Structure 1
Amino acid sequence: MADVARLAGVSSQTVSRVSNGHPGVIEATREQVLAAMRELGYRPNSAARALRYGQFNTIGVILFSLSSTGNSRTVEAIATHAAAEGYAITLIPIDVPTQDNVLGAFTRMGELAVDAVIVIMEIHLLDAGTVQLPPGVHVVVVDSDAGDRYSVVDTDQADGARKAVRHLLDLGHRTVWHVAGPRTSYAGQRRTEAWRAVLEEAGRPVPQPLRGDWSAESGYAAGLSLADRPDCTAVFVANDQMALGLLRALHERGRSVPEDISVVGFDDLPEAAFFVPPLTTVHQDFAEVGRRCVQNVLRQVRAQGGARPGTDLVPTSLAIRRSTAPPRS
């Protein structure tokens, strides 16, 4: 920094202010200092700056799986919005979701010097009280029903499922079958509960749901079962990947979509518009979920306050395509 100051003909304090992006520097002086930095190959020492100011410009992300569409796209959105705020992310996956592993991940985050943590929990650990997050940490939780204790950001799972089922009932279908997600999934449970509630409110029969594991293979197995049921004219599938498997099974069994069976998915994968037929599905705004997570946790960092309990729900929308139609008369 002293070398840059000598070359630019300014004080070391001015170099520091330019290095830290301080607004109170005359533009001509700023350009002079930046030119000297480029000439000397100067790079600010982020480690030294972090020790001085107690801020590391890094957000930790703890999650249990990157394989699911929701988790991978949420992490991508978090990384994008964190970068826009001048932050990097540090990612720690947990193979077995236990209290010891979660606390171990937080300990590791402390060693890696992060300013805050975003936890993506797709199973019922916080809701059931199985896992407790350490106190005094700037933290936001994604995909959990623990808003009474933590700051939670999530897609409005229930409203998305309601939109899907009501769309099928409005088309004239007597009832709607359901291919559900895993029992351990918070999102899957919320979608199933909403599916059931809409049918009960409408006074319609509630079929026994079929259970999948988010994979296209499990959707294919469910589709083979439903294809043999003449009373099945509409299906709400808990995610697009299972819907893809279901579409193949129906095609192989000679059941046309939507003429024989209408199908609605959930997620709105980029590929969903190119399924055969193009899939009607619930659109999740993963980019907005990531943006709100970063905004929330940085608000805590900048205010140096703890997380306020509560749940921030991101709205969904229904992308209507050619996989749904009125039932045959």
Structure 2
Amino acid sequence: MVADGPVPRVADVQAPARPPAMSDVAALAGVSHQTVSRVLNDHPSVRPATRARVVEAIATLGYRRNLAARALVTRRTGTIGVITPATALYGPTSTLVACEQAARDAGAYVSVATLRTFSPDDVVTVVEHFLVQGVDGIVVVAPRTETLGALRSVHAPVPVVVVSSAPQPGGRAVAVDQHAGGRMATEHLLALGHETVVHVAGPPEWFDAGDRLRGWRSALEAAGRRVPPPIATGWSAADGFAVGGRLVAQGLPSAVFAANDQLALGLLRAFRVAGVRVPQDVAVVGFDDEPGTAFYDPPLTTVRQGFAELGRRAVRAVLDAGAAGAAPAAVPDVPLAGDGSFVPGLIAPELVVRESTVAGAGPGG
């Protein structure tokens, strides 16, 4: 079959235009190749007017960095691996989102692996996958005991930062101060005149649950108050509802500290069904400050975690360690506090007071 019309000659066929290079940006901006590189790497020595010309030239040409070439030169890919539990729970999910946003703010990207179980084989497989990708470091969101147990089998040649308040001798760790948060919630209730505080605790295999419980207990003991037996349960609103029903049937306390906001939500519902008024009959404090807690009925007093700062510190720890060429074995042990508890790069939580403890406090926060 013969095509209609003349057959074009090779000389008449134009090759597609090549992507703009750094040299094109330099020529258009009237600067050196090195100046363009400094602007791309946010070097402080570039004058504002020069930086503006380079940025305008980049936008005009549609220049994009060749990340593969950059990795060959710098031996860094600008990618961070994040290992996190496969769960929709607010804490781990918020930590993952915070790490991703912090990485982008730092000019890096994340590769994510979610695990339903943290067996040593699973963790080793994920780490090897990240190393094939050439990640600059790994962040591990480690809320449970099984996670840290599996990590002991991993020896990665890149920095590994653990988001956990559990001990990590020789390793890097960042965390929100869960112990302080539990103590803060309990002290708030005691300051309102409650004789003691009942604690609805999260699952014992979760480090955050244990730290919040210890903070609650230490606040009661420091005030010389009776320490009721903690009520261990799950993390869900259904768990809180079931516990609330039992508290109504067995004898209602005047104050309850719930280990997370979902538990508090279930408690509030159980109390309302039973005709119990909050905070007039029982005051309730949660933990996390999930979106929507200001609109619970009544608005919930809770402990806010600084997830944005948590993600920023985790990413910064990876990038700083990688830039310094530090290997995991070169990092000194993190000291322990006087009571034997672990002290990582702790982030202070914040108490947000609303109407579930103080009538008329309003839905703000």
TM-score, normalized by length of structure 2?
Answer: 0.80
1:24-35 counterparts in 2 under 5 A?
none
1:152-301 counterparts in 2 under 5 A?
152-301=173-322
Once the two structures are superposed, residues 28-58 of structure 1 have per-residue CA deviations (whole angstroms, 9 ceiling, x without a partner) of: 8777766665565442211121122201111
Contact 1:127 1:144 in 2 (8 A): no
Which structure: larger Rg?
A: 2
Distance 2:173 2:139 in 1: 10
Aligned pair in 2 of structure 1 residues 259, 53: CA closer, same or farther (>3 Å)? same
- The more displaced of 109-118 and 302-311 is 302-311
Contact 2:165 2:176 in 1 (8 A): no
2:176 is equivalent to residue 143 of structure 1: no
Q: Where does structure 2 lack aligned partners over 5 or more consecutive residues?
A: 1-20, 335-343, 360-365
Aligned pair in 2 of structure 1 residues 254, 106: CA closer, same or farther (>3 Å)? same
- Residue 293 of structure 1: CA displacement? 1.1
Q: How high is the sequence identity, in percent, across the aligned residues?
A: 41
For 1:87, the aligned partner's letter is A
Q: Indicate which of 21, 24, 36 corresponds to 1:4.
A: 24
Distance 1:231 1:22 in 2: 62
- Residue 128 of structure 1: CA displacement? 5.5
Q: Indicate which of 63, 83, 88 corresponds to 1:62.
A: 83
User: How many matched pairs?
Assistant: 326
Secondary structure class of the residue paired with 2:219: helix
For 1:78, the aligned partner's letter is C
Q: Indicate which of 91, 110, 120 corresponds to 1:89.
A: 110
Aligned-residue CA RMSD in angstroms?
A: 2.8
Distance 2:278 2:32 in 1: 73
- Residue 239 of structure 1: CA displacement? 0.3
Secondary structure class of the residue paired with 1:141: strand
Distance 1:130 1:46 in 2: 30
For 1:312, the aligned partner's letter is G
Corresponding position of 1:323: 356
Aligned pair in 2 of structure 1 residues 128, 207: CA closer, same or farther (>3 Å)? farther
TM-score, normalized by length of structure 1?
Answer: 0.88
Q: Where does structure 1 lack aligned partners over 5 or more consecutive residues?
A: none
1:7-46 counterparts in 2 under 5 A?
8=28, 41-46=62-67
Aligned pair in 2 of structure 1 residues 13, 257: CA closer, same or farther (>3 Å)? closer
Contact 2:177 2:349 in 1 (8 A): yes
